[in-house]
Structure 1
Amino acid sequence: MQLARIHHVAIICADYAKSKRFYTEVLGLRVVAENYRAARASYKLDLALPDGSQIELFSFPEAPARPTRPEAQGLRHLSFEVQDVQAAADELAAQGIAVEPLRVDEYTGRRFTFFADPDGLPLELYEAGTVR
């Protein structure tokens, strides 16, 4: 088996409208498809990044909350590559989103920071480029 890339990441949200706005208007992801599944009382929103990778945003009635942040077993966080971490962090902060102080990856020398989506899912901004 030869895996080529990550196709999509699935996220279950508590407030569909709030999360849809966050991922489309704040993070700027493009809507590929939006479907309401009546049998599940659930929305499924397919969102795309410029490289073609996708996020599936789901709403399920009464889905349990994430037990801890960020060290629960399972997916730890979702990371997005950006050209300039400081500029991206400043954009988020200008929209009222709390962003942690920038840090430097001790192995790659690249800058990174964390913030959260409306449900508290840890999201990371990781700077592209060569090792410093």
Structure 2
Amino acid sequence: MLQLENVHHIAIICSDYAVSKKFYTEVLGFRVLGEYYRAERRSYKLDLALGDHYTIELFSFPDPPQRVSRPEARGLRHLAFTVRNIDSAVAELTAHNVVTEPIRVDEYTGKRFTFFSDPDGLPLELYEQ
């Protein structure tokens, strides 16, 4: 069996680079590790870290096609982040005008969670530790 060690990063293509960069850094609190403009592709690449872990590559490309996400489309469903206190996390998102779904309880673990979206409608989840 293949011996995977962990997830290295997640790549996200956005429609408005400045808006998504602000969302992931100023609202969600990711730290910029590196920012690169690739002239031959007319594309930005932003490497983002959560804590000490390289987590997200945020890309911009000219006129990327929309990807169906809802209702429950095939493929990647959502990206989930753990939080210590979901109530304070939701309050912080609300302060940034980010709408969250009502907090629910995972029927198998008893943990609380909620969903919200990034500027392009990518479903994101907060899952309380």
Q: Does 1:32 align with 2:24?
A: no
Match of 2:119 in 1: 118
Deviation larger for 44-53 or 32-41: 44-53
CA distance in 1, matches of 2:85, 2:41: 40
CA offsets 1:56-82 (integer angstroms, 9 cap, x no match) = 000011111122425122110000011
**Cα distance, 1:51 vs structure 2:** 4.6
- Of all paired residues, the percent bearing the same amino acid is 66
CA distance in 1, matches of 2:74, 2:7: 20
| 1:90 aligns to 2:91 (yes or no) | yes
Q: TM-score w.r.t. structure 2 length? A: 0.95
Task: State the alpha-carbon separation in 2 of the partners of residues 47 and 69 from structure 1.
Answer: 26
Matches within 5 A, 1:93-104: 93-104=94-105
**Would the alpha carbon gap of residues 111 and 51 (structure 1) be closer, same or farther in structure 2, given more than 3 Å must change?**
farther
> How far, CA to CA, are the matches of 2:121 and 2:29 in structure 1?
18
Please tell me whether the aligned partners of residues 47 and 54 of structure 2 are also in contact (alpha carbons under 8 angstroms). Answer: no
Give every structure 1 segment of 4 or more consecutive aligned residues whose post-TM-superposition deviation is greater than 6 Å.
none
Q: Look up the SS of the partner of 2:53 in the other structure.
A: coil
Offset at 1:45? Answer: 0.3
Aligned length: 128
RMSD: 1.0
- Report the CA distance between 1:3 and its aligned residue: 1.2
Compute the TM-score of the two structures, normalised by the length of structure 1: 0.93
Residue 10 (structure 2) aligns with: 9
